[in-house]
Chain A
C-alpha cells in the first residue's frame, strides 16, 4: 500500500481511533458471574444458533420422519400383520432413535467451534472451564425436545395411541432426553479428537446407526438368531427403548427405568471428564 493510498483510505472512512478511545475509557470490570450463569449463557448461545440456523433441526427430524413412514407402511404389513399394530410397536423406538441421532450434532458443533477458532476465545476468558460444554449440551436438550415432539405428534396423526396417556409420553420424552444428554458427552469427546466436523458426523452415525438398528426398536428380539438376540439384550439403546415403550404403554418397571438412569450416569461419568480434559488442551 502506498502512502497516497493510505491517505485516501483514511479520507472516506470514519476515524476509528477516536471512538475506540472513548469506548475503552468506559470499560470497568464487573464481578465474576456464577458457574450457573455462565453455563446458562452458553445454553442461550445454543438456542440462538437454532434460531439462526433452523435447518439443523430439519436435518435431524427428516430421517426419523422418513423411518416412521417407511417402516409403518412398507414393512408394517409384513412384520406385524397390520400397519396400525406395527406403528404402535415402533413409535417409541423411533422416538429414541430420533433423539439419539441428534446427540451426534453436539459433537459436530463442538468440533466446528474448535476448527473455527471460537474455542480459543472461550478458553482465554476467565470463566469456569466446563461452562461452554455444559451450556452447549443444555442448549442441545432443546433440540432433543423438538426431535422427540415431532415424532410423537407425527405418530398421533398417523394413529398411534399411547395407553399411558399424556403423562406417560412426557415421562418417556424426559427419560430419553436425560439419556441423550449423557450420550452427547460421548460425541463431544469424539468431536474433540476428530479433525473436521464432517468426520465427526460420519463416525458418529457409523457408530449410532448399527446400535439403533441392532436394538428392539423394529423387531421382537425373540425372532432373532441367538447371537443377535444376546447383543440386542445388552445394548443400552434397547434398554432406553424398553423403558420408553413401557412408559408410553404403561407397565414400565422401576428396574427398567433405573437401568437407563444408571447407564446415563455411567456415560456421563466416563465421557464428561474426558471431554473436559480434552477441551482444556484443544
Chain B
C-alpha cells in the first residue's frame, strides 16, 4: 500500500439518470480501524460501498482499496475484501450450513475443509443449533450473524458492513457490535455504514457524515460532538404540572436557558459541568418536583446531524442515548 491507507477515495461520483447518488466523496481509512459512514436514507451510503467493493463502476473520481484500484484491479480488491450487504446476502432457501459451505467451496476449500470451516463458524456465531435449518426460518439477528460469518469464511483484510444492525433488537445489535469489535481487534479494517448515530459513536474511530451524496463532516466522534457544543441535561418529571417550577429551579442552578420539550413532563438544558448538573437535579427534589428519570451526556450524534444539516436524521437510533448515563 502506497501510503498505508486501507481505503483511499477521492472525488467518487455515481449518477443514476438524473440523480447524483454520490457526489464527490473523499475518504481516507487507516488499516485496522472501524470507520463509520453515517447518513440518512438515500444519502448514498450503499452506493459508495458498492463502488468501493467493485460492484459499481464510479462515474467519476477514483478509489484504491488495500492499495488496488477498484476499477483497474477489481479482482485484487475482491481477494482482500468481504461485503455484508444491506439486504442480508445469504440464500434463504438453503440452510445456514449450506450457505457457508457454498462460500467455502467458491473460495477454494475442499469439500471436507469447507464443511469443517462452516461448523467452526456456526459455532463461533452461536448458530450451531440452527445449522440445518433453512435461512428463511431464521430471525433477523441470526440471519445477520450468518451473513457476517459468510463474509469471514476466509478472514478478509477489510470488511464492508452496510447497515448491519438495521431492524435488529437491542440484544442482537449488541451481538453484532461484539463481532465487529472482535474483527477489528484482530486487525481487520471495517467500513461500517449506518443510520444509527449511536452505533457509529460506539464502534467507529473516524466518522464521515454524508448527506445527498456529499461528505458534510468528518472526524472522530468526539470532534463531531465538540463541533456542536457542550453536553445537555435532560429531565423527566413525575408530574407534568410541576414543570414550570422545575424549569425555574434548573435555570437558577445552571444559569442557562431551559428548554421545554415536546413531552409535557420533560425539560432540557445545556450543561457542561456534570457536578453542577447533578446538584441541580438534587435541587429539583428539594423543591418538590419529583424526577422520573434524568440523563446527562454529551450531545448525541442526532444533535450533531441536526446542527450540520439543519434537518434531523430521518431515522435515528431507536433510543439513541447509549452515550448518556441513565438513572431512574
Instruction: Report B56-87 residues with CB < 8 Å from chain A CB.
Output: 56-57, 75, 78-79, 81-83, 85-87
- Bound state CA distance, A126 and B75, in angstroms? 6
Beyond A27-B155, A120-B87, is A16–B182 a contact (Cβ under 8 Å)?
yes
Cβ contact of A27, chosen from B50, B154, B181, cutoff 8 A: B154
A53 partner residues in chain B, CB cutoff 8 A: 93
B23 within 8 A of A: no
Contacts of A113 in B (CB 8 A): 91
At the interface, yes or no: B215 with Cβ under 8 Å from chain A? no
A117–B113 touching, CB < 8 Å:
no
- Are B79 and A126 in touch, CB under 8 angstroms? yes
Q: Knowing A19-B124, A25-B186, A124-B78, say if A30 contacts B89 (CB, 8 Å).
A: no
Beta-carbon contacts of B172-196 to A below 8 Å, as 1s and 0s? Answer: 0111001101110110100000000
Indicate with 1 or 0, residue by residue over A110-149, a CB within 8 angstroms of chain B CB atoms: 0001001111111111110001000000000000000000
Let me know if A9 and B171 touch, CB within 8 A.
yes
Are B126 and A16 neighbours in the complex by a CB distance under 8 Å?
yes
Instruction: Name A12-32 residues within 8 Å CB distance of B.
Output: 13-32
Contacts of A9 in B (CB 8 A): 170-171, 174
Kindly state whether residue A223 has any CB partner on chain B within 8 Å.
no
Bound CA–CA A6/B202 (angstroms): 12
- A6 B152 Cβ-Cβ under 8 A: no
Question: Quick check: B83 and A30 within 8 Å, CB to CB?
Answer: no
Residues of B contacting A18 in the complex (Cβ-Cβ under 8 angstroms): 182
In the complex, what residues of B have CB within 8 A of residue A52's CB? 93-95, 134
> In the complex where A6-B170, A120-B87, A125-B78 touch, is A1 in contact with B318 (Cβ < 8 A)?
yes
**How far, in whole Å, are A41 and B173 apart by their CA atoms in the complex?**
33
Considering the complex, give the chain A residue whose CB is closest to the CB of B110.
A30
Q: Which residues of A contact B1 (CB under 8 A)?
A: none
Q: Is the Cβ of B78 less than 8 Å from the Cβ of A126?
A: yes
Is B88 a contact partner of A117 (Cβ separation < 8 A)? yes
Q: Is the CB of B79 within 8 A of A49?
A: no
Does A82 lie at the interface of the complex (its beta carbon under 8 Å from any beta carbon of B)? no
Given the complex, which residues of B lie within 8 Å of A17, measured CB to CB?
Answer: 178-179, 181-182, 185
Chain B, 300-328, contact with A by CB distance < 8 Å: what is the 0/1 string?
Answer: 00000000000000000011011001100
Q: Complex: how many Å from CA A74 to CA B319?
A: 66
Give the residues from 129 to 179 in chain B that come closer than 8 angstroms, CB to CB, to chain A. 134, 145, 150, 152-155, 170-171, 173-175, 178-179
| Residues of B close to A22: CB separation below 8 A | 124
Tell yes or no: A234 within 8 A of B by CB: no
Contact A118 B89 (CB under 8 A): yes
A143-191: which residues lie under 8 A (CB-CB) from chain B? none
CB pair A117 B89 closer than 8 Å: yes
A121 touches B182 (CB 8 A): no
Asked whether B108 lies within 8 Å of A33 as measured between CB atoms, the reply is yes
Count CB-based A-B contacts (< 8 Å).
161
Asked if A123 and B55 make an inter-chain contact with CB atoms under 8 angstroms apart, the answer reads yes
Asked if A226 lies at the interface with its beta carbon under 8 angstroms from chain B, I say: no
Residue of A nearest to B202 (CB): A6
Q: How far is the CA of A25 from the CA of B188 in the complex (A)?
A: 11
A120 — which chain B residues lie within 8 A by C-beta? 50, 55, 83, 85, 87, 89
Contact of A118 among B90, B124, B154 (CB under 8 A): B90
Residues on the B chain within 8 Å of A14, using CB = 126
Q: A117-B87, A281-B57 are in contact. Are A38 and B106 (CB under 8 A)?
A: yes
Q: Tell me the nearest residue of chain A to B107, going by C-beta.
A: A30
Using A52-B134, A124-B83 as known contacts, say yes or no to A13 and B78 having CB atoms under 8 A apart: no
Chain A residues near B174: list those with CB within 8 A: 1, 6, 9-10, 13
Whether, in the assembled complex, A4 has its beta carbon less than 8 Å from a beta carbon of chain B, the answer is yes
Chain B residues, CB < 8 A from A10: 174
CA distance A16 to B124 in the complex (A): 7
With beta carbons under 8 angstroms apart, the residue of B57, B121, B154, B322 that contacts A1 is B322
| Bound: A9/B169 CA distance, A | 10
- In the assembled complex, which residues on chain A have CB atoms less than 8 Å from the CB atom of B113? 30
- The one of B86, B94, B125, B154 in contact with A48, judged by C-beta atoms closer than 8 angstroms, is B94
Instruction: Decide if A45 touches B125 in the complex (CB within 8 Å).
Output: no
CB neighbours (8 Å) of A121 from chain B are: 83, 85, 89-90, 103, 150
A30 to B183, CA, bound (A): 20
- Whether a CB of chain A sits under 8 angstroms from the CB of B102 is yes
Enumerate chain A residues within 8 angstroms of B78, measured Cβ to Cβ: 124-126
A25 to B185, CA, bound (A): 11
Give me 10 other A-B pairs in contact (C-beta within 8 A), A41-B106, A48-B98 excluded: A2-B326, A16-B125, A17-B179, A24-B186, A25-B186, A27-B117, A27-B155, A49-B91, A117-B85, A118-B90
Residues of A with Cβ closer than 8 Å to B? 1-6, 9-10, 13-33, 37-38, 41, 44-45, 48-49, 52-53, 113, 116-127, 131, 281
**Pairs A–B under 8 Å by Cβ, sample size 21:** A6-B174, A13-B174, A16-B126, A17-B181, A19-B123, A21-B182, A23-B123, A27-B154, A41-B105, A52-B95, A52-B134, A113-B91, A117-B89, A118-B89, A121-B83, A121-B103, A124-B54, A124-B55, A126-B75, A131-B106, A281-B57
- Smallest CB-CB A-B distances: 6 pairs: A117-B87, A27-B155, A19-B124, A30-B108, A121-B89, A23-B124
